[in-house]
Chains A and B, each alone.
Chain A
Amino acid sequence: MTYEARIGLEVHVQLKTRSKMFCACSAEFGDEPNTRVCPVCLGYPGAMPAMNREAVELTALTGLMVGAQVAPLSVFARKSYFYPDMPKNYQISQYDRPLCIGGAVAIEWEGREKLVGLTRIHLEEDVGKSSHFGTSSGVDFNRAGIPLMEIVTEPVLTAPEEADAFLQALRQMVRYAGVSDGNMERGNIRCDANCSVRLRGETALGAKTEIKNLNTFKGVLAALRYEIRRQQDVLAAGGRVAMETRRWDGETGTTASMRSKEEAHDYRYFPEPDLMPVAMAPEQLAALQARIPELPRARRERFCRDYGLPAYDSEVLAADKAVADFFDETARVSDNPKAVSNWMMTEVLAKLAETGRTLAETPVAPRQLAELIALVDRGQINMPTAKSLFATMFDKGGDPVALVEQEGLAQVSSADDIGAWARQAVEENPKSVADYRSGKKAALQFLVGQVMRRSRGRAHPQKAAEALEELLKG
């Protein structure tokens, strides 16, 4: 008997606003505990929420990007429950009138494009963050009240890897549009997963469990793999899967049932009396439509079409918006877009990874990278020089043309100069010469290296090799 899984995700995405959802406290990450709090986000009696326009617009913008209907009238609601990280004893969320309805996210799955349907996108506030000590827990409310957009998918994902592909595509999209930083380490994207298993061919969904506490994409993958196997084992043994909420434990790599007491929820949603409904005007939606950037997929296609890049290059470059923007600007002013792509995928990305910096934090301008590549293409500097020059530009800044002049790095191709260095290299390395003559052709590379060293890296490597071969013939 074969089984198949059906997965639906509830993804919480932290919106990129400067202030919180219902008060003016800073929404920035970090800082000392309880330093970004006020009567509203601490839930003082009588404090009144005031809705952040940008948070509403970013959510509507996301809805437009996924082709959802932005509801003509949307209402906030109180979701009541007691938990120490929730100071008001209710969370302001949305219930039956969410901001966005429907829509779909395009993903690559099994070599084809698949549209993952969304049920809804609603807006709510985050809760505080608790840490646990021996007999007590401590709560920091800096995060309480930060705007979260909850994106709910239909139960149409069929495998953990497909859920992962969805999350990656979603993250890429919200980062592209500046809706969220999408930073996993900072908990900008968190998710719960609904998961059920049924016999292949059955039409009704099996009993589902909801898995909580999925804070990393790796955690989502591992938890779903575990949970699908667990449910299959229960069914294969003739048992029934209990409808319940389960908590993922990353350390043991298992899900465990949350005790029913924790689950005894009756949220008693009712319309938030302190917040007026949101009605998006057509002009407002048109303005948001204009804020939609070129999305990753369109960009990949354009990179292939306009710059003649292979699909692989386009995929790598378009994955991150800052990288894609930088490539775009560089390629636009360069005669050699493929070389720009090579530089971006190797030197530039390596340097960024090595230093942990972003492109915005480096002094290199797209025009300068294009000039560096032109210097190589015109044979004015060789590749090793170009690479070390790039390192200087990346670390300290500077124009490649000026740097080549200042440091005397221009490539030397003159037969006289190269000939002299080659003769020195031959005289001083008799063993390599003998090796070469006895058939070890690799010894030539060592001698080329000696010429490069004497020329302080400026010699034209191909010409150096030719000069050496000529000398060693006799």
Chain B
Amino acid sequence: MEQEKRANGGNEGMDVRHVALLARLALTDEDAELFRGQMADIVGFVRKIGELNIEGIEPTTHAHRVENVFREDEPAPGLDRATALANAPEQAQGLFLTPRIVE
């Protein structure tokens, strides 16, 4: 119940503005209205699962019961720096440049 309330942003409809902020999306009022309806629908679809009787069923995180998929600890070369930086909008001294991070 707690979880459900959180998913709804505490309201009946999804808190679209909050979700947009978390996703760093700028929404117009019309966008917000459209998505509020669509996301409420999605939450409604998912809520359908709540009707199932899951008594005694172990929760799983994956569809397949596969465990322990490991890689051995062997280093291997990755990308050379020019390639790695090729898509950087801005770069200097081998670094990706971003607008100054507020500290």
A: residues with CB less than 8 A from B are 17-19, 23-28, 32-39, 41-42, 50-56, 73, 75, 80, 82-84, 130-141, 262, 264, 266, 268, 271, 273, 275-279
A277–B73 CB distance below 8 A: no
Closest to A261 in B: B102
B73–A52 CB distance below 8 A: yes
A139–B79 CB distance below 8 A: no
Nearest chain A CB to B51 CB, angstrom units: 22
With contact pairs A35-B81, A273-B62, A279-B68 given, residues A53 and B73 touching in the complex (Cβ less than 8 Å): yes
Closest to A58 in B: B73
Q: Which stretch (B33-41, B42-50, B88-96) binds chain A?
A: B88-96
Beyond the given A24-B75, A38-B79, A140-B95, please list 12 additional residue pairs across the A-B interface where CB-CB is below 8 A: A19-B73, A25-B76, A33-B81, A34-B96, A39-B79, A50-B69, A53-B70, A84-B98, A84-B101, A130-B101, A138-B93, A266-B22
With contact pairs A132-B100, A271-B62 given, residues A25 and B75 touching in the complex (Cβ less than 8 Å): yes
B73–A54 CB distance below 8 A: yes
With contact pairs A34-B85, A132-B101, A279-B68 given, residues A24 and B96 touching in the complex (Cβ less than 8 Å): no
* Complex interface: chain B residues within 8 A of A131 (CB): 95
Closest to A87 in B: B96
CA distance A73 to B60 in the complex (A): 11
CA distance A238 to B84 in the complex (A): 56
* Complex interface: chain A residues within 8 A of B22 (CB): 80, 266, 268
A34–B73 CB distance below 8 A: no
Q: List 12 A-B contacts (CB under 8 A).
A: A24-B74, A26-B75, A33-B94, A34-B81, A38-B79, A50-B71, A51-B70, A51-B71, A54-B72, A136-B97, A137-B100, A266-B18
* Complex interface: chain B residues within 8 A of A51 (CB): 69-71
| Residue in A37, A266, A279 whose CB lies within 8 Å of B79 | A37
Nearest chain A CB to B9 CB, angstrom units: 10
Interface residues on B, range: 35 or more
CA distance A138 to B24 in the complex (A): 21
* Complex interface: chain A residues within 8 A of B95 (CB): 33-34, 131, 138-140
The 7 lowest CB-CB distance pairs between A and B, nearest first, are A38-B78, A138-B95, A54-B73, A53-B70, A271-B61, A24-B76, A50-B71
| Residue in A18, A28, A137 whose CB lies within 8 Å of B101 | A137
| Residue in B62, B66, B74, B102 whose CB lies within 8 Å of A18 | B74
B99–A135 CB distance below 8 A: yes
A141–B68 CB distance below 8 A: no
With contact pairs A34-B81, A130-B101 given, residues A276 and B67 touching in the complex (Cβ less than 8 Å): yes
User: From DSSP, what is the main secondary structure of chain A's interface residues?
Assistant: loop
| Residue in A23, A83, A84, A278 whose CB lies within 8 Å of B68 | A278
B103 beta carbon closer than 8 Å to chain A: yes
CA distance A125 to B89 in the complex (A): 25
With contact pairs A32-B94, A132-B103, A278-B67 given, residues A19 and B62 touching in the complex (Cβ less than 8 Å): no
| Residue in B84, B90, B93, B98 whose CB lies within 8 Å of A37 | B84
CA distance A83 to B22 in the complex (A): 12
* Complex interface: chain B residues within 8 A of A268 (CB): 22
Nearest chain B CB to A254 CB, angstrom units: 15
B67–A279 CB distance below 8 A: yes
A34–B84 CB distance below 8 A: yes
* Complex interface: chain A residues within 8 A of B62 (CB): 271, 273, 276-277
* Complex interface: chain A residues within 8 A of B21 (CB): 264
With contact pairs A34-B81, A75-B61, A266-B22 given, residues A141 and B96 touching in the complex (Cβ less than 8 Å): yes
* Complex interface: chain A residues within 8 A of B78 (CB): 23-25, 36-39, 41
B97–A137 CB distance below 8 A: yes
A136–B75 CB distance below 8 A: no
CA distance A131 to B80 in the complex (A): 21
* Complex interface: chain A residues within 8 A of B101 (CB): 83-84, 130, 132, 137
B98–A52 CB distance below 8 A: no
CA distance A19 to B77 in the complex (A): 10
* Complex interface: chain A residues within 8 A of B80 (CB): 35
Nearest chain A CB to B56 CB, angstrom units: 17
* Complex interface: chain A residues within 8 A of B67 (CB): 73, 276-279
CA distance A271 to B67 in the complex (A): 14
Closest to B94 in A: A33
* Complex interface: chain B residues within 8 A of A27 (CB): 75
Closest to B58 in A: A73
* Complex interface: chain A residues within 8 A of B84 (CB): 34, 37, 42, 141
Nearest chain A CB to B15 CB, angstrom units: 10
Nearest chain B CB to A126 CB, angstrom units: 16
* Complex interface: chain A residues within 8 A of B72 (CB): 53-54
CA distance A52 to B94 in the complex (A): 27
CA distance A273 to B96 in the complex (A): 28
A133–B94 CB distance below 8 A: no
* Complex interface: chain B residues within 8 A of A23 (CB): 78
